[in-house]
Every structure is written in structure tokens, then in C-alpha cells.
Chain A
């Protein structure tokens, strides 16, 4: 987003706002999914984030701060959705992960995405959040620390633990799959 686009948004230019929404909608939706919302909730959350952003566009200082500013709004709104969703989860149970949340060019990417989201969901929430902020959103550790209200050192250690935990889960899944394949080969019924 160029600063002139931001300025135009601040002056109430509808075309500029349309452009911002088109550019940022998919990004906000992606963050909401990776922060653990189901795709339907993530869609609603993305709309809410962008509407909130429109209301508070004056508080966004410049282009460089735009991504972290938008992420902060997303984080709050996702937390609200999680809180509000307890009744639905209690009534219908937690929904299975939607495997069609994103579109991929290859099936390998698709498998990777699903497996990575599964591992991410199994991490502790603060670890998953740091991983998303640093690796996906692209924030620096200092920005992360400011958003979370913790020292930068804490962010660094959380990130280290998060990476380790993620890789461990990934490898466990690999081991399970390999084990399953071996077993299924051994258990194949004899042909008549």
C-alpha cells in the first residue's frame, strides 16, 4: 500500500479504500485461519477486521506500520471470535479442520499446508502465534514484542521453542505414517 493510497483512504476516497480491501482481504483471512479459526469464522473475522480498519484508518501512521497495525486488529478480533464461539463449540462440538481453506498450484503444497496447519494447531497458543507473526506475517521480533507486550527476549525464546515443537510434531507425524505404511503392508490379506 503506497502512502498516497493511505492518505487517500484517510481523506475518504472510496476508490482507494476499495483497493486496500482487495489487496488485504486474503491476507487477513489467511491470518485468521492460521490463528485457529474455522474458515467460516475466518471469513466473518476478515470482514470485521477490514471494517474496523476503515473506522480507525486515522490511527495508521504509515505504510511500514500498516501490516503490523492490521495484524493487531486481526489478533483482537480473532480472540473475540474465539471467546464468542464457545457456545457453538459446546453445542456442535469442535469442527474438523477445513481442508479447502486455501488454493494451491500443486497437490504437494496442499498436503504440506494441511499438515502444517495441523501441527500449528497442536502447538501452545502463544507459540503458534509467535510462529505466525514471525514466519507468516513477517514481523520483526521487536514488533512482535510490542504487540504482545512482552520483552524481545521472551519472543525469541518462544520462537525457538515453537520451532522446535513444530518440527517435533512434524517428525512424529512422519514416523507415524511410515509405521502405518509398514503395518499395512504386513497386514495385507493373502490372495485366495
Chain B
């Protein structure tokens, strides 16, 4: 820069200390300030007080959860108390922080435990449990076939004539057959049926579903297989063989050329049993056939 002026502190003060900004900048600043009313800022002490109150509230809630015998729901009634939902409508209950929904006609009995860690027994029908997270202890449900213990999850237990079906919506549960056998952990999307009969002595429903499956696999008398599976699903929509029956009904319909019905049933299967290996196969099949 050839015309660079020389430096001295007087010039420094005059040039940098007195130079005004461009007029529009000056105007923008002034207008910006005058248009905005000054906000009252919450003082430091007021902010600390609010934060302290919030922290106290959280601690109180936490201690309430730890020390209290429950949450918003009622306390656990005496052992032996039975709740029954009317045959025509569902019913719901709350025990401490846990929510329990009884399907129409279901019966649930209190066996023991505490409000936060009760032990209940499903005596009839299907019951859906939404269990709040527990710190120590177990929420237990039993039927005559199985014992289900959880630490905090949502699951259902359905008692059928010969089996108990457990479906997990969220979290993990442990299912243990009461007459021996290996306990299994079920995660969200998984289900398990625990039956009182050995596999070679299936009940009538089991036999009919097995017959339909065999026919489907052989590709023989597909209409009969379709009828058996459809009848079973109509009779026991939430039954212990619902997953198998629905899956093979999709296959039968497809082989009979009823593609639209097969696709519709496949989508229904995906909604009900989304994380099973059969669901993965059906999903691939739907994508492949662009359904």
C-alpha cells in the first residue's frame, strides 16, 4: 500500500475513536433497540430457586417411587382376591404403577407379593400387563402351565384350554413351564406357548392345525387345509397356534391363486408377529412380489 499513512497515537485515537459507522448501520441499531422492549431477565437467584425446587420435586418423586408401596393405582388387595372382566366388555385395573387390562371374560387372581412386585395368576382368558420399571423384586404372573416373571415391560398372558400363550410387546420376560422344562427369555415381538400336553398328544385344535400344515406342505387338498386353518383362526383368533395357522393360511391362499387375500393376511401377520422369522420371510415375499 504505497499511500499508507504513518502511525502515531494521536491519529490512532482520532481515526479509530471517532469514525462513525455507515448511516444505515447506525439506523438499524437504533431502530432495532427501540423496537424491542427490554426483557426482564430472570435473576440468578430466582433461576437457582426454580432449579432447586425442580430438583427437590424430582428427588421426592424418586423417593416416593422407592419407598412408597405404589404409584397412582390402588394397593394390592389381599391374596385370593379375584378380578373378572364381564363377558361382553374388557376391564382394566391399576396396581400401584402397573396397568392391567383384562380381555372380555378373563379372570385374574391375586396370589401374593406387594403392590410394586405382585404375584398374580391368570385363571381364564387373556390379560395384558404393562409393568412399570422395578428396582428390585419381580412382577410375576402364573397360570397352571407357566410362570412369567418380568422386570418392567408390556406383555400379555392368554390362558387357553390346554396352553398358555405369552406375547411380549416391550421389554423382556422370562417364561418358565411349571411342569419342568427350560425357561426362556422372550423379548419384544416374541411369543411362546406353554402347553400341558406333550407334542405327540396335541389337543383337537393342535391336531387340526397340524393336519392343515401337513396338507399345505405336501400341496394336497389345499381347500381342506384352508378351511381347517380359517376355522381355527375364527374359533381361537388369539389361540396358541395362531401364528402357525395364520402363516400357513397365507401360503395356502397363495397356492390357491388368491393373491390379494394372501397379501392381506400376510400384512395382518406382520402386524401381529412383527419380529418372528416367519415375518421376515413374509416381508421379503411381499417386497419381491411388490404387494
The answer to whether B17 touches A29 (Cβ under 8 A) is no
The verdict on B136 contacting chain A, using a C-beta distance below 8 Å, is: no
The answer to whether B22 touches A108 (Cβ under 8 A) is no
The answer to whether B4 touches A104 (Cβ under 8 A) is no
A55 to chain B, nearest CB (A): 5
Among B13, B32, B39, contact of A47 (Cβ-Cβ < 8 Å):
B32
Among A55, A117, A177, contact of B39 (Cβ-Cβ < 8 Å):
A55
A55 to B41, alpha carbons, bound, how many Å? 8
Interface range for A: 35 or more
A28 to B20, alpha carbons, bound, how many Å? 11
The answer to whether B15 touches A104 (Cβ under 8 A) is yes
From B23-31, B121-129, B174-182, B208-216, the one touching the partner chain is B23-31
Q: A29-B21, A47-B29 are in contact. Are A177 and B16 (CB under 8 A)?
A: no
A178 to chain B, nearest CB (A): 9
The answer to whether B19 touches A116 (Cβ under 8 A) is no
A188 to chain B, nearest CB (A): 15
The answer to whether A51 touches B19 (Cβ under 8 A) is no
Among A17, A109, A117, A177, contact of B4 (Cβ-Cβ < 8 Å):
A177
A34 to B17, alpha carbons, bound, how many Å? 10
Contacts of A111 in B (CB 8 A): 1, 3-5
Contacts of B11 in A (CB 8 A): 112
Among A17, A109, A181, contact of B2 (Cβ-Cβ < 8 Å):
A181
The verdict on B33 contacting chain A, using a C-beta distance below 8 Å, is: yes
The verdict on B257 contacting chain A, using a C-beta distance below 8 Å, is: no
Interfacial residues of chain A within 163-178, with CB under 8 A of chain B in the complex:
163, 166-167, 170, 173-174, 177
The answer to whether B29 touches A54 (Cβ under 8 A) is no
A112 to chain B, nearest CB (A): 5
The verdict on A138 contacting chain B, using a C-beta distance below 8 Å, is: yes
B5 to chain A, nearest CB (A): 5
The verdict on B12 contacting chain A, using a C-beta distance below 8 Å, is: yes
A55 to B22, alpha carbons, bound, how many Å? 27
Among A107, A112, A163, contact of B15 (Cβ-Cβ < 8 Å):
A112
Q: A54-B38, A102-B19 are in contact. Are A116 and B25 (CB under 8 A)?
A: no
The answer to whether A51 touches B21 (Cβ under 8 A) is no
The answer to whether A108 touches B21 (Cβ under 8 A) is no
The verdict on A46 contacting chain B, using a C-beta distance below 8 Å, is: yes
A108 to B25, alpha carbons, bound, how many Å? 22
The verdict on A18 contacting chain B, using a C-beta distance below 8 Å, is: yes
A52 to B25, alpha carbons, bound, how many Å? 19
Closest to B36 in A: A51
Would you give 30 A-B contacts (Cβ < 8 Å), ordered by A?
A21-B30, A21-B34, A25-B33, A26-B20, A28-B29, A29-B21, A29-B25, A30-B21, A39-B25, A43-B28, A47-B36, A54-B38, A100-B22, A101-B21, A102-B21, A103-B22, A104-B15, A104-B19, A108-B5, A112-B4, A112-B11, A113-B15, A113-B16, A116-B16, A135-B16, A136-B13, A136-B17, A138-B17, A177-B1, A181-B2
Given contacts A103-B20, A103-B23, 8 further A-B contacts (CB under 8 A): A25-B26, A30-B19, A47-B32, A47-B33, A51-B33, A52-B38, A100-B22, A113-B15
